[in-house]
Structure 1
Amino acid sequence: MLKLWNTNRIEAAADVLRRVSTKVMDALERRPVYIRLKGLQCMPDRGTPPKAYVVHAPLEVIGGIDRLKRACQVIVDAFVEAGLVLEKDANRGLLLHATLMNAGNSKSSKTSGKTEPFDARTIFAQYGSEEWGECYIREAHLSQRFVYDGNGYFHCCASIPFPEEKQGAFPMMKNFFQKMFSTAK
């Protein structure tokens, strides 16, 4: 994980991201990236369904994941080379996913300071094989954790574009939270 504890490091990371934009486009073979999210998993080493800490949807790149992994590795390597990643994190494997639930974000963990696992068995039983949807990935963001924009997402400090999609070539992802709450009634 990036360690961006002050403005100088955030600006340095933003600069690194912008500088590797061409290499990222090359790694993506200058072709658009489309993903599919399907199913649920517990984050490796972060629990099991009865005692989950982080539940995520695995990411599949339509047409093969190699291009996206190569592009991500270009970015990771540039951050490591710039000294923006702690040594212990520099060789961690890359897990492309969408975090759906994180016990660290619960009200009780924020008030007590202690993260407790939650029982996700019912969630896995109901949504474990759910097809969440497919979408086009427009850009890579350098996001600041614990700082949110007005739209509720992490604050974007910098971004680089991914190859452009052909107009209307692919459907947008379902709003899976809306779907989850509408079926729970």
Structure 2
Amino acid sequence: MSAANFFDFSDKEVMLPQIKEINGMYYRFHPVTEAKDVEKESASRARNVTSLAESEADLSSEERDILRRLRKDPKDNTYRIVLTKENIPSILFPMMIGKGGQAKRSIEDETKARIVFPRDQEKNTSIEIYSYDSIQLIMCRRKLLQSAHNARMRVPFTHFACFPVLSDATAASFNRFRDDVMKKCGGTRGLSTDLFQTSNKLHLTISTLALFSPPEYDLAFETLQNCFADELWELLDQGPLRCRLRGLEIMNDDPAEVDVLYAKVVDPTDRLQTIADQIYENYMHSEPRFSQDKFDGLKHVKLHVTLINSRYRKGTELGEDDLDLLSVAAKATARKTFDASSILQHFGQYDFGECVVNEIHISQRFSTGENGFYKCKRKLILDPKALKNHLQQRDATSTVKISSDRMYNDEPTCEVGNDDEFADER
């Protein structure tokens, strides 16, 4: 493909050019399509725009390594970088492109590079970047990765790491609690049976996650396993992880305007708390792109079991088939609180009994599995001997290869841009 065609602009840009006032006169500025002019302007921008890197010295070590591996295509004198789908999930593309392509054009204008997003119907889901200038190509990549990170942080969490509470005795106790509350406080403003959690889905949340593909499930699970590699498994060798669910609390300060009411967790040995804190910390620092928890300075995970949640209200709840970004965001803002004053007064010290925790799940939000609990994407059995043996075998043989540098990494595939056709941008 020729360089002249490479920087072709749309009819809309030609028919609606940028208008600028100079000395009281208005001029229309049309996009440049001549390859030599674009290349000249690209080089000029690399020298003059102080917000971007101006030389290899301004790049990170990773970016310098990518720069050294770049090769210019002799056909059209351009460089190309391909960002694979494992780097940037396609679900983030709409936010990165922006309304009317505005966000994408902003990066292109600033770096004088061309960004090509795949079309919906294409099997290829890689983002391609082209530029005449290698430094600006790297800067465009940097801005795209930052854009992807920002998009991730705007996405409601899709999964969560948790300790399931699957005891029959606890489920029966919860059902009695629900029935007693509705008999005693059924006329309370905003309270209805659909706000109660399902007895089969009781759990202690450790960390909320945004995961979009099987490779991401695997890497999140590997991060979970790695928490136990540094002798954390020894805590499991001290016997079963027991805790007690006793007493009620709310997530806000006003008991008359409540969204979430939960059972407090009594952890006499602090082992459950230590494990939860370590897992949370590992996600925050090892895989921050996955973690949707915004409490980077949090000292301890707040161990609790949600019992009543206004998000479960009929008509505002979400199912797994509903899980798109707009649905979650819209329904999250449509919550109607309930008055928990009477519940706290009559049931504030309710004792749900003791339960044993023996698994950690990476569960899918808004889903239901065959056993009535959330669909489990990955499961870690908290058996000390089995866990220790597995970790030792994995480290010794390196047979557990959940991801590779090429498969999952912020490192793009750098290739010569010599294709005859480029995908149309979305």
TM (normalized to structure 1)? 0.74
Q: Is the 8 A contact 2:280 2:301 kept in 1?
A: no
Q: Which residue of structure 1 aligns with residue 239 of structure 2?
A: 31
Give 1:86 shift.
4.4
Question: C-alpha offsets along residues 61-95 of structure 1, whole Å, 9 cap, x if unaligned?
Answer: 13x22x22221122122222123224734333410
Deviation at 1:138, TM superposition (A): 1.0
Aligned sequence identity (%)? 26
- Determine the structure 2 residue equivalent to 1:99: 306
Partner Cα distance (1:149, 1:87) in 2: 25
Tell me whether 1:77 sits opposite 2:77 in the alignment.
no
> What is the root-mean-square deviation of aligned Cα atoms in Å?
2.4
> Among 221, 242, 249, which residue is 1:41 paired with?
249
Q: Which runs of 5+ in 1 are unaligned?
A: 165-185
Aligned match of 1:177: none
Deviation at 1:14, TM superposition (A): 1.6
Query: Offset at 1:15?
Result: 2.1
Matches within 5 A, 1:1-185: 1-22=208-229, 23-28=231-236, 30-43=238-251, 46=252, 48-62=254-268, 64-65=269-270, 67-80=271-284, 81-83=286-288, 84-86=290-292, 88-92=294-298, 93-110=300-317, 113=331, 114-163=334-383
Which residue identity does 1:34 align to in structure 2? R
* Alignment check: 8 A CA contact 1:54 1:99 kept: yes
Change (3 A) 1:110 1:136: closer
In 2 relative to 1, CA 70–133 (structure 1 residues): closer, same or farther, beyond 3 Å?
same
The answer to which structure has the higher helix fraction is 2
SS across alignment from 2:375: strand
- Please state whether the residue corresponding to 2:339 is helix, strand or coil: coil
Q: CA deviation at 1:98?
A: 0.5
Query: Aligned pairs, how many?
Result: 160
Q: CA deviation at 1:47?
A: 5.1
TM-score, length basis structure 2: 0.35
Question: Rg bigger for which structure?
Answer: 2
DSSP 3-state at the match of 1:109:
coil
Aligned to 2:140: none
Q: Is the 8 A contact 1:28 1:68 kept in 2?
A: no
Unaligned 5+ residue runs, structure 2?
A: 1-207, 319-329, 385-426
Counterpart amino acid of residue 35 in structure 1: C
Kept in 2, the 8 Å contact 1:35–1:60? The answer is yes
Provide closer, same or farther for how the CA distance between residues 137 and 70 of structure 1 changes in structure 2, counting only shifts above 3 A: same
Secondary structure in 2 aligned to 1:12?
helix
